[in-house]
Amino acid sequence: MDQEKKPDEDLLKNYQELKSHLENALSMSSKANDLREAKGYLIDVQYKFKGLKLRREDREELYGRLQDAFEEVNKKIDEQRRDFENEAYSNYIELQEKVEEAILLAENPKGFKETWNFLMEVQARFKGTRLLREHREILYPRLQEAFDKVKAYHENERTAYESDARKNYERLKLLVENGLLQAEETNQYKETREFLKKIQSEFKGIKLIPEQREELYARLRTAFDILSKRLDEFFRQKKKNWEVKMNYRVSEYSTEIFNLEGELEKERSYLLEIEDQLEIAISGSREITTLAGLKARIASAKTNIARKEGLIRKLQAEMAELNNRLTPEA
């Protein structure tokens, strides 16, 4: 009797344990955020059915509930897959347009930096964008082709730029060296400054490696500085020479005025003497011819005095002007 009850008890125990596992799996599956994780709980319970002795009706009951749960999860997985495929296809169409635009830009780049930045933006959109693997494998190599074209274009441009820059550097270097030599040696200051300004204008818009541009421009600035210092020294020396000449001229004016004043003093004494002679002649009733001669000598003396006084005033005015130029007011 006890032996007959033993199998039924084992079947009941198996049923209860499996039912508990199933209930737990269904609960965890319903709470899982990831459908694959949810399905995993169900698969774990499914394995427990294998080799487990159960009454037919108990197996059918539990297995039926498990299959219902599988169908529900699979249905959600299918819906999720369809949603993903729809989104992925939409992303593929949108990203395909960007990739094609990138390829067109790469074939006709207007500017390396702008084109490269656009390609980098498109590349960044691949990250985090949901795509089917086959779509990603179509688009990403196409984008890489665009990158390769831009790199090749940039490399060709860089090579051409460096070639032009090297030629420009050699040509400008000769000009700058010539300008520096002229600044150090020539006395043609105006012509040299114009030549340096012409060299300076050559730098505008010309292709040069930055370090080479800085090197040549620094030497050109040195030439300008040397010329400026030499020009300042030239004008200082010129001014000094002019001042020596002007001081000498002032001295000449002073001597000439001194001599004229001496002559003027004699002329005035002579005039007084003749005027005395005329008074004596008039009082002595001399001949008219004698009086006329004396008057003529008086007139001539006055004329000489007036001329020398005017000459002295003129010399004094010129000397005052020179003194003002030599010692200008502050």
Q: How far is CA 278 from CA 287, 288, 303, in A?
A: 11, 11, 17
Sign of CA dihedral 26, 27, 31, 34: negative
Query: What pLDDT sits at residue 1?
Result: 42
Q: Is the pLDDT score of 211 beyond 70?
A: yes
Tokens of 285: 């009733």
Tokens of 305: 């005095």
Q: Is 178 exposed, middle or buried (CB count within 10 Å of its CB: 0-12, 13-18, 19+)?
A: middle
- Residue 243 gets the label, from left (phi > 0), alpha (psi -120 to 50) or beta, of alpha
The percentage of the chain sitting over the pLDDT mark of 90, rounded to a whole number, equals: 5
Write the DSSP assignment of 109-143 as a string of letters: -S-HHHHHHHHHHHHHHHTT----HHHHHHHHHHH
Max Cα–Cα distance, the chain, nearest Å: 207
Predicted TM-score (pTM) of this structure: 0.45
Q: Is 106 exposed, middle or buried (CB count within 10 Å of its CB: 0-12, 13-18, 19+)?
A: buried
The residue length of the chain stands at 330
Residue (of 184, 185, 216) closest to 200 by Cα position: 216
Q: Is the pLDDT score of 216 beyond 70?
A: yes
Q: Of 180-184, 193-197, 211-215, 246-250, where does mean pLDDT reach its minimum?
A: 246-250
Stretch 82-90: mean pLDDT: 78
pLDDT band at 131 (very low <50, low <70, confident <90, very high): confident
Query: What pLDDT sits at residue 328?
Result: 64
Q: Where are the domains of the chain?
A: 2-92, 95-160, 170-243, 253-326
| 160-163, Cβ contacts within 8 angstroms, sequence gap of 24 or more | 161/207, 162/209
Q: Determine phi and psi for 110, rounding to 5 degrees.
A: -80, -30
DSSP secondary structure code for residue 327 in this structure: S
